């Protein structure tokens, strides 16, 4: 159906639109090609792309492939959002700690008992004879305190902090140390010559703030900048062009690891499956035409290193215009509910899941509630960034996380997938979200005040 014919139907009769929608729902399976789905995921998960690691030449090959598929399907680039070639460029900075020194009451704290997270290249603090200190804040974490909760709070606050940590927390301290020594990545802010955030220094020590007479602390970090790309395309809406339905997935993965045997982490399920879904949904809707709302398709990079692709993307448009975000994450295998079934994160955050299931009712299909609530998956994919802005943004998956031995392993390759189930999941998403596309469904917004903020320092 062409866009002009669809426009004619819209003007002539609401009834005809409703009949066309029913006809479309019944014909979904004839619109999405299993052969094309197989072709797309075979390339994206191939050894040729060497795991699509961020900053690698191969991730650019993946971006070019996605952009080409969007173009072949007749989608458009958005001026100011993705340029003329569908590629949305952004810059990230990698901040790696190099040196840290702390002296308390004239005694050096050994480096093995220190952790630093900083968003600046160097800093130096001092406090003498318990003079009034306004440059940084000193915190005690006792043996019965919740270290993770306190450090997470400081991270979300930003600013400058020295944390004195009781040795009872040594095991968790060492986990933080291993993580932070690898450095952290931050989204570079345009028109800014420095990175906002702060500094956290954690010292494993029996001393507490009340016993400090004087101290000196200094640190040095290196900062490197790199460019990365999202791939973004749209199908302009026919009658509600200002309202956007966003379909997204991340196309980056872990790349190549050192070692013997199979060292390519192909990321077939995570998340070549989701990327394949948005490519084929885009092709499907481009062929169908008549979408009332603007449909936007975004393949994000940098999800595996902190979700920076979606963070940048979220700053380029007005979140209020996004009616819903369908973020697709690992749908290449049968879920615990059976082949061709999926679950959704944050079912209680908006009524999107409820409305999608109403759309699926006549097909006897269903989108299930997240079966792994203890893993806090609502915050672990690209939907979280948009949810923090109030968008009904949810991730859809079929992963059996309690049983999947391939997650973040080299064995996450094409042979580990069930392509029939993948195809069924894509078809179900097309059917479930059709009321979003035709403008007859509008889910409730997420209360952004109830969504945990991201860290400012690491």
Residues 109 and 177 reside in one and the same domain: yes
Residues 101 and 19 reside in one and the same domain: no
Residue 300 lies in domain: 3-76+236-450
CB 290 within 8 A of CB 3: yes
Q: Output phi, psi for 419, to 5 deg.
A: -70, -30
Residues 351 and 324: their CA atoms lie apart, in Å, by: 11
CB 82 within 8 A of CB 230: yes
Residues 49 and 129 reside in one and the same domain: no
Domain's final residue, options 204, 226, 248: 226
Note whether residue 161 is domain-resident: yes
Both tokens of 286, joined, read: 């481009």
Residues 366 and 297 reside in one and the same domain: yes
Residues 197 and 291 reside in one and the same domain: no
Both tokens of 63, joined, read: 């971006």
* Packed helices 57-72 and 34-44: angle between N→C axes, nearest 10 degrees: 160
Which residues of the chain are modeled with pLDDT < 50? 1-29, 191-194
Residues 299 and 192 reside in one and the same domain: no
Both tokens of 318, joined, read: 């007005």
Count of beta carbons in the 10 Å neighbourhood of residue 140: 14
Whether residue 271 is preceded by a cis peptide bond, meaning omega within 30 degrees of 0, is yes
Q: Give the model's pLDDT for residue 413.
A: 97
Note whether residue 457 is domain-resident: no
Residues 205 and 275 reside in one and the same domain: no
Note whether residue 87 is domain-resident: no
Residues 429 and 246: their CA atoms lie apart, in Å, by: 13
Domain count, the chain: 2
Q: Which tens digit of pLDDT belongs to each residue from 392-444?
A: 999 999 999 999 999 999 999 999 999 999 999 999 999 999 999 999 999 99
Smallest CA-to-CA distance from 147 within 177, 109, 118 is with 177
Residues 189 and 54 reside in one and the same domain: no
Q: Give the model's pLDDT for residue 456.
A: 85
The CA angle 72-73-74, to the nearest 5 degrees, is 90
- Domain containing 363 — which CATH number? 3.40.630.10
Smallest CA-to-CA distance from 297 within 426, 388, 413 is with 426
Cα 156 vs. chain centroid, distance in angstroms? Answer: 18
Note whether residue 86 is domain-resident: no
Residues 279 and 390 reside in one and the same domain: yes
Residues 357 and 443 reside in one and the same domain: yes
Domain's final residue, options 174, 191, 226: 226
Q: Give the model's pLDDT for residue 27.
A: 45
Residues 343 and 383 reside in one and the same domain: yes
CB 28 within 8 A of CB 431: yes
Domain's final residue, options 180, 204, 226: 226
Residues 309 and 411 reside in one and the same domain: yes
| Model confidence, pTM | 0.83
């Amino acid at each position: 159906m062409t866009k002009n014919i669809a426009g004619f139907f819209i003007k002539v009769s609401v009834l005809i639109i409703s009949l066309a929608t029913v006809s479309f729902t019944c014909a979904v399976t004839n619109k999405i090609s299993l052969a094309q789905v197989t072709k797309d995921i075979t390339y994206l998960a191939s050894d040729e792309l060497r795991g699509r690691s961020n900053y690698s030449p191969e991730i650019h090959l993946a971006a070019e492939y996605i952009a080409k598929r969007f173009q072949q399907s007749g989608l458009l680039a958005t001026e100011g959002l993705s340029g003329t070639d569908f590629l949305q460029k952004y810059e990230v900075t990698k901040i790696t700690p190099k040196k840290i020194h702390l002296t308390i009451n004239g005694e050096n704290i050994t480096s093995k008992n220190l952790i630093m997270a900083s968003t600046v290249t160097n800093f130096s603090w001092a406090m003498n004879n318990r003079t009034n200190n306004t440059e940084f804040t000193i915190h005690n974490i006792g043996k019965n305190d919740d270290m993770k909760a306190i450090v997470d709070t400081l991270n979300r606050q930003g600013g400058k902090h020295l944390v004195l940590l009781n040795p009872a927390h040594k095991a968790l301290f060492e986990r933080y140390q291993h993580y932070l020594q690898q450095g952290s990545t931050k989204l570079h802010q345009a028109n800014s010559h420095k990175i906002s955030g702060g500094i956290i220094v954690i010292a494993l020590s029996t001393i507490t703030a009340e016993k400090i007479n004087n101290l000196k602390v200094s640190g040095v970090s290196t900062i490197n900048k790199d460019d990365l790309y999202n791939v973004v395309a749209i199908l302009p809406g026919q009658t509600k062009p200002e309202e956007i339905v966003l379909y997204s997935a991340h196309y980056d993965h872990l790349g190549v690891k050192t070692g013997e045997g199979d060292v390519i982490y192909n990321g077939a399920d995570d998340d070549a499956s989701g990327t394949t879904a948005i490519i084929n949904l885009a092709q499907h809707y481009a062929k169908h035409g008549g979408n009332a709302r603007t449909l936007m398709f975004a393949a994000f990079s940098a999800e595996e290193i902190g979700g920076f692709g979606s963070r940048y993307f979220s700053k380029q448009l007005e979140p209020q215009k996004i009616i819903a975000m369908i973020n697709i994450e690992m749908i290449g295998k049968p879920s615990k509910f059976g082949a061709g079934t999926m679950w959704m994160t944050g079912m209680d955050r908006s009524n999107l899941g409820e409305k999608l299931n109403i759309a699926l009712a006549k097909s006897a299909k269903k989108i299930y509630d997240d079966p792994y609530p203890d893993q806090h998956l609502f915050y672990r994919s690209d939907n979280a960034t948009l949810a923090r802005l109030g968008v009904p943004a949810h991730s859809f998956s079929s992963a059996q996380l309690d049983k999947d031995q391939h997650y973040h392993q080299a064995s996450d390759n094409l042979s580990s997938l069930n392509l029939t189930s993948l195809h069924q999941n894509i078809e179900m998403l097309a059917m479930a979200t059709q009321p979003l596309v035709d403008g007859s469904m509008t889910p409730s917004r997420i209360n952004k005040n109830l969504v945990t903020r991201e860290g400012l320092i690491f």
